[in-house]
Amino acid sequence: MREPVRRPLSPDDWARTALAAIARGGVGAVAVETVAAELGATKGSFYWHFKNRDALIQAALDRWEHGRTDAVIEELEREPDPATRLNKLLAAAFERGPADRAEIALLANPDHPAALRAVRRVAERRIAYISQQLRALG
C-alpha cells in the first residue's frame, strides 16, 4: 500500500500551526521543534520558510490579526447600514464571547514584543472601526 502524496508545506501551514500553539500556551509555547513535529516536518523545512522563531511568531500573529480583525471588518463592510454593522459586531463580541483561544492567550499575556505590537494594532484598528461607525451614525 502506498502512502498518500503530501503537498509541500507552506509558510501559512507553519503559521497556522504556530497560532494553534499560541492558543494552547501563549507565545512561549511556540517552539520550532514542536511545530515541526505537529506538521510531520523537519527543522530544515522550517528554515526553508523562516529565518528564525521570531519570524514564525510574526507570521502567526499576522495570520491572527488578519483573520480576527481585517477579515471581520471586510465582512461587516458588505453591510451598507452602519447601525446594522455595529449590531452584528456587538452580537459577535458579546453574544458568543471570545471564542478565539489565541486571542485570549495574547490578550492575557502578550509576552513577546511582536505580540504586544500586534495586540495594540488590533485594539487600535477595532476601536477606530467602531468610532468610524458611530460617526457614520451621527
What CATH number does residue 71 fall under? 1.10.357.10
Number of domains in the chain: 1
pLDDT band with cut points at 50, 70 and 90 for residue 7: confident
Phi, psi of 20 (to 5 degrees): -65, -35
Residue 60 is placed in which grid cell? 502567526
Q: With bands split at pLDDT 50, 70 and 90, how would you rate the model's confidence at 99?
A: low
User: Across residues 98-103, what is the average pLDDT?
Assistant: 76
Please provide the distance, in angstroms rounded to a whole number, between the alpha carbons at the two ends of the chain.
Answer: 67
DSSP state of 52: S
Strands (E), 18-66: none
pLDDT digit string, tens, across residues 61-83? 999 999 989 998 999 999 999 99
Judged by DSSP in three states, 98 sits in coil
The mean per-residue pLDDT over the stretch 81-106 comes to: 82
Q: Is residue 88 in some structural domain?
A: yes
For 126, the 3-state DSSP assignment is helix
Answer whether residue 25 is part of any domain. Answer: yes
The mean per-residue pLDDT over the stretch 44-62 comes to 95
**Domain span holding position 126:** 11-136
* Residue the block writes with cell 458611530: 134
Q: Is residue 4 part of a domain?
A: no
pLDDT band at 5 (very low <50, low <70, confident <90, very high): very low
Q: How far apart are CA 117 and CA 58, in angstroms?
A: 10
